[in-house]
Structure 1
Amino acid sequence: MTQGKEFGWPVRVYWEDTDAGGIVFYANYLKFFERARTEWLRSLGIHQRELRESSGGMFVVGAAALDYHRPARLDDQIEVTARIAELGRASLVLEQQAWLLDQGTRAQLLCEGRIRIGWVDAVQMKPARIPVPVLQVLNP
């Protein structure tokens, strides 16, 4: 996914995702966003466990800011998107959205966020530069 190109991942809302009011618990959008980012990386051939083992580094979330627009409910089908907004040598910012789907078409924006992800040395947990081969995949 180069800057501007969007990745989408389908998610079904299950009981475990909802709160006592029957809507998706607000923190679960962070889980949905995490899964979409992981699947986006996987679609690019980047497997995080293997990357950590081979490079000694890993991605970590440094900041997240979310805006909630409408609730999702049990059994809703949603699409979670991810798009690189900024790409640097040691971090990237992703813009992510969760959309309610109606017959496979985006019907309503549910939640959107900006997630800053940094690269760290996996042992010392100190910031480091994203390996060049990974940068080349993220921004060919």
Structure 2
Amino acid sequence: MQNSALSNINVSSTPGHFSIVLRVYNQDIDAGRMVYVGNYMNFMERARTEWFHHLGLNQRFVERHYRAFFVARDLHLDCFSPAYLDDVLKVSIRVKSLGRTKMVWAHTIERDGILASADLTAVWVDLKSLKPVAMPPEVREKFQAEFERRVLPEAALQATV
């Protein structure tokens, strides 16, 4: 399911948490020379796509094989501080909640602290009817593993003591 081509995207993964690093380009900023708010969603999409590949879920293959895919249902975005041209941003994602047909992904965008955070609710839908259906077990298991591994490092240390 994974593309074997090398990626030039800087990624990092810790239990239950995935991040990419990207730079702000001219195309990302508005007339005020700040990142246009809509582009924060583009940055989060890039992180999700890389995370899916990291999990072994090539989105095109998944859509064709299962005849279903994720659709964004709800987005709550909080912007705290602007990003600017040439900034290097860390965009992170983790599973916040997981159900049979939907999940909530928590995103953060950072540069010397959190610039923006968002919760995105995604629903697994049938390709033809566009109605919610249960995620296939092999797809859900990958997210379930991430959801279960989102333990804070200090809690994990306490569990081993």
Does the TM-score normalized on the shorter chain lie above 0.5?
yes
| Higher share in helix | 2
Relative contact order, higher structure (CA 8 A, sep 6+): 1
Residue aligned with 2:122, SS:
strand
In the alignment, which of 95, 106, 119 is matched to residue 124 of structure 2?
119
| Higher share in strand | 1
Q: What is the rounded CA distance, in whole Å, between the counterparts of 2:21 and 2:52 in structure 1?
A: 15
1:123, distance to aligned residue in structure 2 (A): 1.6
> Is residue 66 of structure 2 the alignment partner of residue 55 of structure 1?
yes
1:120, distance to aligned residue in structure 2 (A): 0.3
> Is residue 46 of structure 2 the alignment partner of residue 35 of structure 1?
yes
Cross-structure match for 1:103: none
Structure 1 stretches of 4+ moved >2 Å: none
1:6, distance to aligned residue in structure 2 (A): 0.9
Residue type at the aligned position of 2:79: Y
For 1:60-139, list aligned pairs within 5 A: 60-100=71-111, 107-139=112-144
| TM-score for the superposition, normalised by structure 1 | 0.91
1:45, distance to aligned residue in structure 2 (A): 0.2
Q: What is the rounded CA distance, in whole Å, between the counterparts of 2:23 and 2:124 in structure 1?
A: 30
Q: What is the rounded CA distance, in whole Å, between the counterparts of 1:73 and 1:85 in structure 2?
A: 28
Q: What is the rounded CA distance, in whole Å, between the counterparts of 2:68 and 2:27 in structure 1?
A: 32
Instruction: List alignment gaps of at least 5 residues for structure 1.
Output: 101-106
1:28, distance to aligned residue in structure 2 (A): 0.5
Residue aligned with 2:48, SS:
helix
How many pairs align? 131
Identity %: 35
| TM-score for the superposition, normalised by structure 2 | 0.79
Structure of greater Rg: 2
Q: What is the rounded CA distance, in whole Å, between the counterparts of 1:99 and 1:123 in structure 2?
A: 38
CA deviations on 1:14-45 (whole Å, 9 max, x unpaired) are: 00000001000001001111111111111000
Residue type at the aligned position of 1:99: E
CA deviations on 1:36-93 (whole Å, 9 max, x unpaired) are: 1111111000011100111000011000000000100000000100010101110000
1:108, distance to aligned residue in structure 2 (A): 1.7
Q: What is the rounded CA distance, in whole Å, between the counterparts of 1:117 and 1:109 in structure 2?
A: 23
Residue type at the aligned position of 1:25: Y
